[in-house]
Every structure is written in structure tokens, then in C-alpha cells.
Amino acid sequence: MKKILLLAALFTATAAFAGFNLGNLNVGDTVKNLGKVAHGVFTGVGPKEEQTIGESVSVEIINKYGGLVRDEAITRRVNLVGKSLANYCDRQDLVFRFGVLNSPSINAFSAPGGTVLITKGLYDQVQNDDQLAGVLAHEISHVTKRHAISIIDRDETFSGAAGVASNVGAASSKADIAKYSKGAGKVSTTLMDKGLDPSKEFEADKAGTQLAATVGYAADGLEQFLKLLQQHETGKTKFFPTHPPLDKRIQKLDAEVARR
Amino acid sequence: MKRINLIFFACSLGALLVTGFEAGKPAFTKRYETAVLKDPQPMAESIATLPYAAEVKVTGLQGKWANVSTTNGAGWIYLGNLAEEKPAADHSVDWLRASANETTASVAARPLDEVTKEYAGQKGMTSAADDLQWLQAQSDKLDKKTVTDYLKASRKGEYQ
């Protein structure tokens, strides 16, 4: 009992320090959850924080890439294929949404929390749903494997108590907004300027290929599309600029597909 | 008989190559509730319902279905409903339950987070925030039933 009280006191202090609104907090649940914190189950960014940061990251991407293509038919097609894949992905706690950016460049992004954005240039180049599924499954895999959000996972501002706060509610104070803005800025810069670590891109290629194949799309959909792009790539034109070189991706995908 | 064994072997090999699941290894449920079916087909009788992150033992593979043994007996689960690794975040359960119970209307009606609005306002990106709100509304028009109908019509997922 002493241990529980001590943990409760510790949590209250931690939550207060983190600036979360405790108004709707269920004390019983909190003490139970606190035990999980103590045992290390709650680490990193929780689903609510991930969604909140993801929304801001999505806004950054949409702003930089010319806004969204507000075409209902295109958006419906991309969402049907995307949601078919997301229906079987490893993170059923997220709501995935898929949109098309009004940019002629060829690129794709996934924000934490489940918003996947592809450019109109990419959408116009895909020849069939298998290729589209290959691209979307790659982006879904980045989210399920928490590639982008892990950039701030180890940030002390979001660790431990942030996981508990996911059960409490949305951020409310100025301190929260500043904290979330900092996180969103960090993730946006990585996604749009630097790109993720190449090992994470290759991991998403592999996991995406597996997801697409399991759902019933061609296992080589992504590889087909990358090969198509490769034919048009020149020294001046680079597709998927925030991703590893096409030839390296194709080489690894070829081995993966051949293994199947 | 030999032919049936050969077909079963070929299907098992196919499943192994498509995914990393293997007979003899554990797998984990990833939905809030997962039905264990009597036969490897989506409309088969349900013999048990497993909670989130339940461990099952894969005893065999047929196409994209895993034969699993559970404490309630043996049955079939579509591979897309299983994870090779145990879902890590236990705190997802509450969130998952809330998402599962949420109606499409309530999801569609949800505005952008206050933090997002504030963030967009501070950075002069309100137009992009409007676009995101539009996307969420469009995307959420496709409810679970619409997606399931699409899966059935296009013979995807467990309807292959």
C-alpha cells in the first residue's frame, strides 16, 4: 500500500510538472497505470500525443507541398486502397487517413498518428492499385513501426507521464502547446528536409511489401513502381528525394520479392 | 491423399513466404477482439473470441490462414489479424476500445485538435489546417462497412 501511495504521489508530481490537465483523471485507473509506468510499460509517446503531434506535422507537410488536392474521387480511391491495407496493419489503435498533395514532385510522407500523404505527381504516375498499395503500405509501415515519432520518443518531455496522459485528454495549457509544437517541428524537419534514416526506409520497404502481399496486392507493387520511376530518373530529376537511392531500394526489394 | 498433402504443403509454404509466420511459433492478436474460426474462411463459425495481444500458438498454415491452438481449442485466424510480435503498448487497450466503440459520425464530427489549430495559426498555416480538416471528413466518410464491402468486392484481406 505504501508503495502505491508513493507511486501516486510521484505521478501527481510528474503530471503537474509536465503541465497536463488532471481534471478528468480517474484516480483508480491512474494508480493502476502508474504501476505500469513503474514497470516500464508506458514509455515514449502515447497514442493521443502521437495523434496530436501528427496533426501538426500533417499541416506542415500540406503547407509545404501546395495544399491538398480537394478531389473527392481521387481521395476516395486512395483511401479505399489505404484503408484496406491499414485494416490489417499492426497498429489498430490508429485511424489512418490518406490524402493527395497538390505538388508535381514525386514523394510520399506519413505523419505520426496515421495521416499518409502522397503527391499528385506520384498519384499520376502509378499505373494500377498494386503499385499504389505498394507505396501506401510502405508509408503505413513507417507509422506502425513508429519511425517518425521515435525521433522524439526519448525526449524526456514526452516520456513516462505522457503515456499516462493519453488516457486523460488533450493538451490544454500554453506549456503543452509549446511542447507539442517543438515535437512537431522536430519531426517535420526530419521528414521533409533530412529524411528518415535509410535503414528505416529499407525496413518500411520490407514490412510494406509483406503487408501488401498479405492483403492480396501484388508483392512487387512497390518494386514495379520504383522501376518505372528509375526509367525516367536523370541526373537532374530525383524521385523520392527524402528516401534512399532508387537502385538500392530496388535491389533490396528484388531480393525480398524473390524470397517470396 | 498424397495430392491433398501436397496441396496443403504448397499452401503452407506459400503462407510462410508471404509472411514471417511459422508453424510452432507464437503469434499475437492485434485487434480489440479477434474471432477464432472453425474453418479458414471469413464466414465460418466462430469458436472463440480472443482479447487484444493474446498469444496463440501457430500449429499450421493454409494459404493466408493460420491454424492456432488456444486455451479454448484449435481454430483458424486470417494472417492479417495476427502480429508476429506482441503489441508493445499495453496502454493502447483503452484507446483501442474507445476507437472501436466510436461511431463514424462522432469521428467525422471531431474537429482538429486545439494544439493543431494553435500551431497552424502561429505559423500562418490555417489554409493547410483547413485542408487537413477536409481530408479527415472525406476519409471518415469511408466507414468500416464501406471498407469491408470494398474488401469483399475486390477479393482482398480475408475475402481473397
| Chain B nearest CA to A195, separation (Å) | 21
Q: What is the pLDDT of residue A44?
A: 65
The grid coordinates listed for A252 are 533490396
Q: What is the pLDDT of residue B71?
A: 82
Contacting residues for A233 by C-beta, under 8 A, at least 6 apart: A239, A246
Beta-carbon separation of B136 and A163 below 8 A: no
| Residue A15 pLDDT grade (very low, low, confident, very high; cuts 50, 70, 90) | very low
Residues of B in contact with A62 (CB under 8 A): 125, 128, 131-132
Rounded average pLDDT over B65-88: 92
ipTM above 0.90, yes or no: no
Going by the DSSP 8-state scheme, the letter that residue B159 receives in this structure is: G
Residues of B in contact with A54 (CB under 8 A): none
Model pTM score: 0.81
Rounded average pLDDT over B32-56: 94
Asked whether A49 and A165 are in contact (CB, 8 A), the reply is: yes
Residue of B nearest to A63 (CA): B128
Please state, rounded to an integer, the average pLDDT across all residues of chain B.
Answer: 83
Place of cell 498479405: A214
| Chain A nearest CA to B4, separation (Å) | 22
DSSP-assigned letters across all residues of A34-52: HHHHHTT-S-S--HHHHHH
Residue of B nearest to A57 (CA): B116
Rounded Cα distance between B160 and B18, Å, is: 14
Q: Which amino acid is at A134?
A: G
Q: Which amino acid is at A119?
A: T
Which range among A129-133, B98-102, B154-158 shows the weakest confidence by mean pLDDT? B98-102
Q: Where are the alpha helices (DSSP H) in A1-147?
A: 2-18, 27-38, 47-64, 72-86, 120-125, 129-144
Residues of A in contact with B132 (CB under 8 A): 55, 58-59, 62, 68, 115
- Return the closest-CA partner of residue A59 out of B157, B146, B60, B115: B115
For residue A259, pLDDT over 80 is answered with no
For residue B55, pLDDT over 50 is answered with yes
Asked whether B124 and B90 are in contact (CB, 8 A), the reply is: no
* A46: phi then psi, degrees, rounded to nearest 5: -80, 170
Strand-pair partners of B77: B66
C-alpha dist (Å) from residue A186 to A40, A117, A135, A151, B42: 25, 18, 24, 8, 43
Residues of A in contact with B125 (CB under 8 A): 59-60, 62-63
C-alpha dist (Å) from residue B23 to A13, A259, B75, B79: 48, 18, 14, 12
| Chain B nearest CA to A232, separation (Å) | 30
For residue B8, pLDDT over 80 is answered with no
Going by the DSSP 8-state scheme, the letter that residue A192 receives in this structure is: I
Rounded average pLDDT over A222-241: 85
Best of B82, B113, B136 to disrupt the A interface by mutation (most A CBs within 10 Å)? B113
Rounded Cα distance between A113 and A144, Å, is: 9
Q: What is the pLDDT of residue A241?
A: 79
Beta-carbon separation of A59 and B20 below 8 A: no
Q: What is the pLDDT of residue A152?
A: 81
The grid coordinates listed for B20 are 514471417
